[in-house]
Amino acid sequence: MQIHVVKKGDSLWKLSQFYRLPWQELATVNRITEKDILTVGQTLLIPTPFTYTVQLGDTLQGIANKIGVNLVQLQQANPGVTDMTLTAGVQLNVPQRKKRSIVTNVFAEPVPKARENFKAAAKGLSYITLFSYEVNEKGELKPLDDTEFLSEIKNENVRPIMAITNIKDGEFSEEVGTAILTNEDITNKVIEDSIKIMKQKGYQGISVDFEFLGKKNKEAYNQFLKTLTDKMHKEGFIVMTAVAPKISATQIGEWYESHDYKAHGEIVDYVILMTYEWGYSGGPPLAVSPIPSVKKVLDYAVREIDRKKILMGINLYGYDWTLPYKPGGKFAKALNPVQATQLAGKRQAAIQYSKKDEAPYFSYWDKDKKEHIVWFEDLRSMKAKFDIVDQYGFAGVSFWNLSFAYPVFWNYLIDRYDIK
């Protein structure tokens, strides 16, 4: 498949003629309904596995990048074709490419929206981590209403992972984390009760997401993970952790200081890098995962963690900020890529793309004459992230979270990779 960026004047009918495909197939693959309006800058997935239709301004290197092959392979499949002979509308042969095999995980709360989105996502998932069993100061796990969702997951070839967190009253709690990590009896209770639940409900592993632990809990957290991992491995379970996006071992801040990349990489099976939230609901308008910032985290991570244990975090959401941004003011509204694209269409706003950040965005005015800016994700930004995953040779990716619908994306994912 290839990615098409909608231009002024495009329609499903015109695109069907250009790519020599039924317009109904384009609509089905991209989940386009009669109510949807094609928006300038919108990305569409074009199911043309054996040929590529040359577009105005294309180069051989650019085409090779688009379809995921190198320049030599493309030239070998199309003898005699050069940049000088490229003409819009000409069909090029697409060489067969060997798919890379990766591990994928998605976080999901057991709510109706996530369960509905799972139907489209299942074919692209190795694991699904149900979020979350909240642990209190006494080591007690708050029950999660996950039984029906687990039943649905078991009908697919996806392994469920149980997430435990130090969340209290909707926020990560250093106090709760300290109580769990510094008391041997409480540590053992958390681990033993987790194993009981996992066996009872059919979980295949555990994901530890203890955040905002401050700086004093680093060694205690490392020891907790050693104890937990030893016991989980004896029971045949895998262990994952989610870590803050650090760029050095000495980074200051209550989110960062207790997350020891080197220790996590040595202890657990997979380390999920939370490489998102530079642009966040309470902050100034930014791309949620700007590539230059993401790469700084990755460059540090590979010095500390085996690449085959790293799952790069990818967001399935964006934000709509009201301008001008004021610290402490109205929080930005979270929205999925489908909602963002529909909003751009409704407001007749052309979607722009930042090559620096590798992220789409657009501006519009609301009915109260207030300006907004929206940063979100599309197929281009997802491709850019996967190019990086391949470049660094990571085990795979982890998505946050399945409450945000992006059905066409899962088609792109399984076209690009073999999912372990």
278 CB-near residues (< 8 Å, 6+ apart): 286, 287, 288, 289, 290, 293
Q: Among 109, 134, 174, 211, which one carries the catalytic annotation?
A: 211
| Largest separation between any pair of C-alpha atoms in the chain | 73
CA–CA dist 131, 160 (Å, integer): 11
Reported as type and span, the H/E element at residue 180 is helix 174-181
DSSP letter (8 states) at residue 267:
H
Supply angle C-alpha 258, 260, 266, rounded to 5: 145
- Helices 112-121 + 407-416 axis angle, to 10: 30
Residue 166: burial class (beta carbons within 10 Å; 0-12, 13-18, 19+) = buried
H helix count then E strand count, the chain: 14, 20
Q: In this structure, which amino acid lies at residue 57?
A: G
Crossing angle for the helix pair 174-181 and 184-201, to the nearest 10 degrees: 100
Pair type for strands 352-354 and 333-335 = unpaired
The whole-angstrom separation of Cα 331 and Cα 325 is 9
First CA to last CA across the chain, in angstroms?
Answer: 20
211 carries an active-site annotation: yes
Could you give the CA distance from residue 2 to residue 251 in angstroms, rounded to a whole number? 40
Residue that has been written with the tokens 């060489």 in this structure: 95
In the block, which residue shows the tokens 């989980």?
232
Contact 77, 92 (CB under 8 A): yes
Residues taking part in catalysis? 211
